[in-house]
Every structure is written in structure tokens, then in C-alpha cells.
Amino acid sequence: MLKRAIIRIITGSVIGTGIFVSALPITGTILTSRAYAAVVTATDPLIEKQTYLQQIHIQDAWGVATGNNNLIIAMVDTGVDLTHPDLLPNLVDGANLLHPDELPLDDNGHGTNVAGVMAAAANNDRGGAGILWNAKLMPIKALEADGTGGEAKLGEGIKYAVDHGAKIVVLSLGLNKYSTYLSDIVQYAEDHDVLLVAATGNEGNRVKYPAAYPTVLAVGGMTADKKTDSRSNTGPELDLVAPWDVFTTSLGGGYEYKDGTSMAAPQVAAVAALAWSKYPSMKPYEIRNLLRQKTEPLSGSGWNPISGYGLLRADRVMNEPYSEDMYEPNNRKDQASPISASKMISATFQGGGDADWYSFNAPYNGNVNLLLQTEEGYEVTVNHIQTSGAAQSYTFQAGGKITLPVSKGTNYIQLQLKDRAFTGKLPYRLTTSFDIYKDEFEDNDRQYTAYVLPIRSQTITGTLHQMNDQDWFMLPVEQSGFLRLKLSVDTARIDPVLYVQKQGEKGVTYDLGGDGAVEVMPKTAVFPGNYYIRVSNVKEYTFPVTGEYKLTVEYEAHLIDPNEPNDKPYQATAIKPGAPYDGVIESVTDQDWFLLKINSESFADLHLSGIPENVRLTMTVYDSNLKQLATATNTPGATTTDLSGRWQAGSYYMKLTADKPFDYQMYSLTADVTPLLGGFTDIAGHWAANDILAAVKSNLIEGYSGYKFMPDRTITRAEAAAILVRGFKLTKQKYIGYTDLSANHWAYSFIAKAAQAGIVEGYPDQSFAPDSPVTRMEMTAMMARAMKLSGKQRGAAPFTDTDDNYWGTGVLKQMKAEGWVSGFPDGSFRPEQPATRAEFVTMLEDILN
């Protein structure tokens, strides 16, 4: 028996034994709104303890049938107490697969619990009553005394049941491993018209196998307040739920409280047996359909992954008519019936005009496979609408399979016969199965194709999407430090294994936990070299898994400060502008000193980056006499801080201190020094620098914050008016009433004075557009008006891109003739091109001087 591939019974804890629990007696009245048979009750002395029978409304079902001696129900389990007086009347010969020469005696108790839920004899003046008062219960012992067993014995047990006449097989056991062996056995049962009913499991995780196979009726557990128990496994394979807590038979002829999905599954199997007594010709897929359609929805309508189709209702199964298509009406997208992305359903086409819409929720990106089973010779069209809204159409034959690419979220499919003229009724079965996406790190299934991760702390998400998938990663460690790895998964179908190896050395495997566990490589010293990391499922779990893993890498480098010793001002590291200087703070008393020399008045920007998020790093600036000038500290959680200012020529010291030491990450200090000309960082070397300096000195124009003049920035109409008023010392102003210029505008008085002097004017729509750019022609016209030049009409057009029809040609003629303007080397003036601040002040300085 493989260490990992162990079948386990699915059971909860013993709630108590022989303790009276207050509950309503199982009695009731006939509901007038339903044509139900009369209520029938059992008289057993402990029946009041079986409150779960009320929850599934069995008393209303017993009016139709109380048992079924026409079929065999097999239990593949730990065996049965063969002498229990409440079970003995309903037992038939079974088998002990562990010890073939012995009887299938229960040495655990689980099988006896399951048997009592289904078929404890009723009205015999002892114990309680099973859902089936009379039955043929075949015990097949395939599990050990501790409730575990091999996958092979489980398959053998199912096949034995099928081959020996069983019609229903109850499987209150499971494992997280998918296998083709068990899948084939499950299909063998389906092919022989045998219904398999299995518990989903009690870990609050994904549905276990064999419940997760498409044709197995998967049963979860429900609490007394009609909610899925938090411990009940859920997911796309879930069919329905039944009560979690039961009172049932126990070893030694006794009775006890038990709980878990193990106790829910036999309730469904027993009701299926009752249903077959009413509908003996039904196929297993029809019985599944019947039980699903007669459930009591617990969360909205239709199917969902938490409660499936809802709560088992024996009364509805036995009293309400069967519908061949439980999903109707679903002829429109807005009527789409929710179904699972991993299960078999059955429905019918009511003629060629019947369009069946379904919706399913893809748990991840990936593919959904559709298998359609119906009579041969019929083609079906499939329209698929993805979560994104993208649509695509397909056609497949009966028995054919198509694969739909899906994105995470709700997808829609429409099924319809291609032959729209078909007038009959055509049953079909649709099986869906989901394949998860291939992660972004593939192809990395071999060490030599390992995906290279950046050497830093990070968390990545991946999938095991293919057979024997294993994902390799490589960390190129350049600096000694510490490494910690954590591998977690979101499904118990992955039993994660973490393997770590430094190139050239022996690797270490981390596999301490079981299915769904977290594997951790503790904080370990690492040294320069390539470290390979392999993520895989345990070797026995070879098939693709619908689920994701997260690999968390925590890396702390222990770095050496290249500037040490620099703990004192006289040891300060001289730095060059623009060059980065990296370091660490090795202790709470460590001080890192740097020296910056500035040759002329400059704007200096000191930038610290790479600060660890949990560290407060303080930068203090001193002059040559160690007089403190400024200080800056990063805000909590910030990894950068800056300190800038206008500094005169001289020597400046910078001291770095931190509230806690760090040697696993380097900070970086950079000093950007820009010489100032006239208090600006952006006019040195500019063609208009002298005119700009003169204009600034005369207070004709100002710069911007950050010691910027922005000489090549477009000048606005408001700025132009202000400069002209200052330059020509205009004092008189008139009232102006432009629609887009309030009296509170900063340039109102300047524009009013310029308008009084006839230098500027508004537009025909009574606007001024103060923030609109000034063109080169408008600039020239403003200057001409300020100088009282009206232009001249005689002479040729002065520039190649203007003619006598252009509105400003006269002004250009006079301004060029008098030497105030000149064009570009190609002979053009480009009159409609926006004028820059440099061009404007240069022309004004020429005129004023």
C-alpha cells in the first residue's frame, strides 16, 4: 500500500452515546398544497434521537415506500457488525477483501454506523429506524481496523459489488488522489447501470475521490440550521447535501451519535433505493437527476459549489413527478441554469427549436471540456460566451468532445440541435471537466530549464497543470545572507513537496506535512551561487490538479559597506555629483559621513533610496564648520527620502543614522548638483541667457519653483501682457469685461493696462483667453503696438510664409525693416508658431535697450 495513496473513512467525532437529545417526534400532517401520500411513522424507542429524518422529510416519503428488497445496496467500508439485531434482518452475504476466507466483520465501527443510517430495521421495539425498513445490504470489507485502505482494494470493492448484483454502492471514504485506475472502475459501474454514492470529505477543502468523479453522486453535510457544515468539503463536483449529524447503530449491538459526510452519503443512497422502488426502470443518471431536482435549495436557485443543488428531500423524491429536464425553462441567456464545471448532468432537447442555456463558474483560467452523449446521428451546436464577453461557436457529434478556453468567473454555453426542423424529444447527457491554466513560468519542468527568479523577497503563484508536473526555479545568490522558503497550496489534492539544492551540492527535500499542508524551508544561511528550487506534488499524485500553489521567497542579504570606515566627519567619504553611493547601517551607533564640495552657487538635490520598509533613516546636512543646516527622515514604510536646496560654493557634510541597524539591504545616496545662473538651473548655455538675466534683474519676468525659468516654455497671453506693462511702465488702465477673466485673476490689472494702451485686445466672442499661447505674429504685433508702430503697406512680403493677404504682413514689413525681427535661416517667419518665454524677453530687451 502506497504511503500517500491511502483511502480513509470519512467520519467526524462521536458526539455522545446513549444520551437523550430533545427533539420533536417524527410525526406530521399531510400538506394540502401537495398531493402527498399519508404520513407514516416508525415506532422504534430511540426514533426521537434521529432528528435528521425530519430534516429530509422521510415521514412523507414512507407513505409511498418504506424499503426496497428488489435491489442490493453494497457498502465498501470497514465491514458490518453482522450480529447487530437492528441490522441482521437486512443483511445479505458480502465479502472480506482483506482476508477472503473470513466474514466482513467490522473491527472499526464506521461501516456499522453507515449501515444503520440506511437500513436499521424499523418497528422492532429496539433502537431507531433506518431510512429503509427493509433492504438487501451487502457489506464489503475493504478497509483496515484503523479506517484506512489501499486504492486497489477500493477499486476491487466497487467491482465486486457491480459483479455481484449491487445496484447502489455507498462509499463513505475517500482520498485526494485522482487515478485512471479508479476512474476506470467508476466508469465500469456506470456502464453496468450501478449508482455510486460517495461522501465529499470533512476537511473544509476540495471534494475527495471517488466523490469527485463525474458520475458519482457527491454528498456533503448540512447542519441543523440548514447551512453547509464548514468542515464539509465543497467544490465543483458537489451534487447535494444531507444532514451532518445522525444517531445510528454501533458495534456490539449499540447505538451512538456520529457526524460527518460519511453519515450524509448513506442517507442519499437509501433515498435512491426508495426512488428505484417507485421507478424501477430508471437508469443511474436518471436517479441522480431525480435526487438533484427534488432538493431543497439552500442558497439561491440552481447549483452552487457550497451546497450543490441543495438539501436531500425524500418527500419530494417520492411524491413529486419526475422531470426529464430539470433545467427548463432555460431557453434564454438570462434564464441560464447554473451547473458545475466538473460533473455530468442530463436533460432533453424538446425539438430542434429548443435552446438550452447553462452557466458555470470557472474557478481559475483554463479550459472546460464538454462531452455530449445522446443518440448517434445528431449534431449539436455550442455557443460559448466567456467572462469577458467574447463569444465563439462550435459543432460536435453525439459522443464528441470539445474544449472551451475559459477565464475565471462566469461562462455561458448554449446547446441546440443543428437540425432546427427536428420535432421529437431527444435526451442527452452533458459531462463537463475542467483543466487549469499553464502558469507563466513554463516550460520549467527540468532543472536545466529552471525559471530564473530575481534575488529578492517575493511570492509567486503557479500550477501543476500536467502529468508529473514539477516546476523548477533558480535563485542567483550574489551576496551571502539568509533564505527562507514557504510552499502553500489552496487544495488538499496537492501534497506539496519542496526541494532545494545549491548547484554542485546535495539537495534537501522538505515534505513533513500531508495533503494540503504547508512546507517550509527554515531560515538558512546561503552563500554566493545558484540555488535551485523544485515545487512538485508527492510522487504518487501524478495527475494534473485544479489548484494553485504559492512559493514565498524571503531573502535577507548580509552586505558589506564599501565606504567604511566613515563614522566621523574627518573620515567622510567624498562623493561626486550624480554618482550613487551605497552603504548599510551596521549598528544603532553607526554613522555614515559623506563630503560634497560645490564650486559655485548650485541647486543640490540629495536623494536616499533603498531604505528598508521597517527602518527610519535620517540624513543631516552640515556646513564646513559642522553647523547643522537641514535634516530629512523617511516617513514610516517609505523607502526613499530627499533633501534639496540652494547652496553657495563650499564644502558640505552629510551624516546618515538609522533607528535600527540593517545589513541585508543597501541604501543608495545620490547628490545631483546643478549650477545656478541668475538663480536658475536651466538657462546656463541657453542662447537667450543674457536677455533672460537682464529681464529678471529688471523684474520684468519671474521664474518657477524649483529654480526653473523654463525658457522654451510657451508664453501665455496673460504673461505677455504683464511683461509688456512692466517693460513699458504702463500705469493707466480701463475697465475690461471679458467673459473668461474675473477681477480676481492675477493678471487682471496687467491686461487692463495693456488694453488701455492698445497693446492687447480680446476676441469677438468677448473672451480674452488669458492662458492661451501667444503666437510669434501676436508677439510681434504686441511689441509694435507698444512702440506705436502701425505697419506699412508698401514693399514685398518680408518672409516666404507670409503674403499681402496675411493680416500681420504690414507689421512684419515695418518690424523687419527697422531691425526688430528676423526670420529663420530658410527665409520663413512661422507666424503661427507659439512664442517662447525666451523669444519674448529677447525681443522686449532689444526694444527697451
DSSP, res 794: -
Helix axes 837-848, 776-786, angle to 10 degrees: 20
Q: Is 822 strand, coil or helix?
A: coil
Kindly state whether residues 369 and 455 are assigned to the same domain.
no
Residues 432 and 453 occupy one common structural domain: no
Spatial separation of the C-alpha atoms in residues 816 and 822, rounded to whole Å? 6
Do 241 and 271 lie in a common domain?
A: yes
Question: pLDDT tens for residues 765-799?
Answer: 999 999 999 999 999 999 999 999 988 888 888 99
Q: What is the mean pLDDT of residues 297-325?
A: 93
| Contact (CB, 8 A) for 121 and 136 | no
CA distances from 782 to 90, 789, 828, 844 (A): 111, 10, 20, 10
The answer to whether residues 657 and 711 belong to one domain is no
What stretches of 587-678 show up as alpha helix (H) in DSSP?
none
> pLDDT-based confidence at 4, cuts 50/70/90?
low
DSSP state of 203: S
Q: What is the CATH number of the domain that holds 575?
A: 2.60.120.380
386-414 pLDDT tens trace: 998 889 999 988 778 899 999 999 999 99
Would you state the cell numbers that stand for residue 546, as one nine-digit string? 485544479
The distance of Cα 445 from the centroid of its chain, to the nearest Å, equals 24
| Residues annotated as part of the active site | 77, 110, 262
Of 522 and 849, the one with more pLDDT: 522
Domain count, the chain: 5
The length of the chain is 849
Mean pLDDT of 343-348: 92
Cβ atoms of residues 553 and 458 within 8 Å: yes
Kindly report the backbone phi and psi dihedral angles of residue 221, in degrees, each rounded to the nearest multiple of 5, phi listed first: -115, 140
Q: What pLDDT score was predicted for residue 396?
A: 83
**Helix pair 261-278, 284-293: axis angle to 10 deg:** 110
Backbone angles phi, psi at 772, to 5 degrees: -80, 150
Mark which of 284, 319, 354 sits at the end of a domain.
Answer: 319
Mean local confidence (pLDDT), 180-186: 95
Residues 234 and 370 in one domain: no
pLDDT band at 559; cut points 50, 70, 90: confident
Residue 710 confidence (pLDDT)? 95
Give domain status of residue 275, yes or no.
Answer: yes
pLDDT tens track for 99-130 = 999 999 999 999 999 999 999 999 999 999 99
Tell me if 215 is assigned to some domain.
yes
Helix residue ranges, H only, 627-747: 689-697, 717-727
Domain membership of residue 561 (yes or no) is: no
DSSP secondary structure, 406-472, as one string = E-SEEEEEEEEES-TT--SEEEEEEEEEEEEPPPTT-S--SGGGPEEPPSS-EEEEEE--STT-EEE
Q: Which of 555, 588, 604 is the last residue of a domain?
A: 555
For residue 375, name the pLDDT band (cuts at 50, 70, 90). Answer: confident
- Exposed (0-12), middle (13-18) or buried (19+): which is 162, by Cβ within 10 Å? buried
pLDDT band at 16 (very low <50, low <70, confident <90, very high): very low
Dist CA 699 CA 557 (whole Å): 56
pLDDT in tens, 148-172: 988 999 999 999 999 999 999 999 9
33 and 116 part of one domain? yes
Percentage of the chain beyond pLDDT 90 is 85
User: Does a structural domain hold residue 651?
Assistant: yes
Read off the pLDDT of residues 690-714 as tens digits, 9 standing for 90 and up: 999 999 999 999 999 888 999 999 9
- Is 751 in contact with 770 (CB distance < 8 Å)? yes
Q: Is 658 helix (H, G, I), strand (E, B) or coil?
A: strand
CATH classification of the domain holding 255 = 3.40.50.200
Neighbours of 28 (CB within 10 A): 16
Domain identity same for 527 and 654: no
Instruction: Assess if residue 232 is contained within a domain.
Output: yes
Determine the Cα–Cα distance for residues 616 and 603; give it in Å rounded to an integer.
Answer: 26
Tens digits of per-residue pLDDT, 206-233? 999 999 999 999 999 999 999 999 999 9
What are 775's strand-pairing partners?
834
Structure-model confidence comparison of residues 349 and 8, the more confident one:
349
Residue where a domain stops, chosen among 651, 675, 699: 675
Please check the confidence at residue 203 and state whether its pLDDT lies above 70. yes
| Cell triple for 162 | 457491480
Digit-coded pLDDT (tens) for 638-660: 999 999 989 999 999 999 999 99
How many CB atoms are located within 10 Å of the residue 659 CB? 12
Same domain? For 24 and 61 the reply is yes
What phi, psi does 314 have (nearest 5°)? -65, -35
Clarify whether residues 224 and 372 are in a common domain.
Answer: no
Query: In this model, does residue 24 exceed pLDDT 60?
Result: no
Closest C-alpha among 442, 443, 461, 433 to residue 367 = 433
Question: Is residue 826 domain-shared with residue 804, that is, in the same domain?
Answer: yes
Within a domain: residue 152? yes
The pLDDT value recorded for residue 368 is 95
560 assigned to some structural domain: no
Copy the grid coordinates of residue 246: 445522525
Domain residue limits at 529:
447-555
Distances 144 to 1, 53, 296 between C-alpha atoms, Å: 12, 30, 37
Instruction: Please tell me the distance from the alpha carbon of residue 38 to that of residue 292, in angstroms, as a whole number.
Output: 24
Cell numbers found for residue 529 = 551561487
Cβ atoms within 10 Å of 525's Cβ, excluding its own: 9
Alpha helices in 1-134 (DSSP H): 52-55, 58-61, 110-119
Asked if residue 371 lies in contact with residue 355, where contact means CB atoms within 8 angstroms, the answer is no
Report the alpha-carbon distance of residue 616 to residue 718 in Å, rounded.
Answer: 46
Angle among Cα 142, 145, 146 to the nearest 5 degrees reads 105
Same domain, yes or no: 210 and 80: yes
CA 591, CA 427: separation in Å to the nearest integer? 82
Average pLDDT over residues 616-638: 96
pLDDT of amino acid 39:
82
Please state, rounded to an integer, the average pLDDT across all residues of the chain: 92
Give the pLDDT confidence score for residue 28 in this predicted structure. 31
In this structure, are 133 and 29 located in the same domain?
Answer: yes
Residues 499 and 521 sit within 8 Å (Cβ to Cβ): no
Q: pLDDT tens digits, residue range 439-475? A: 999 999 999 999 999 999 999 999 999 999 999 999 9
Q: Are 702 and 637 in contact (CB under 8 A)?
A: no
Q: How far apart are CA 460 and CA 471, in angstroms?
A: 12
Residue 406, Ramachandran bin (φ over 0: left; ψ between -120 and 50: alpha; else beta): beta
Kindly state whether residue 1 falls inside one of the protein's structural domains.
no
For residues 221 and 232, the answer to whether their CB atoms sit within 8 Å is yes
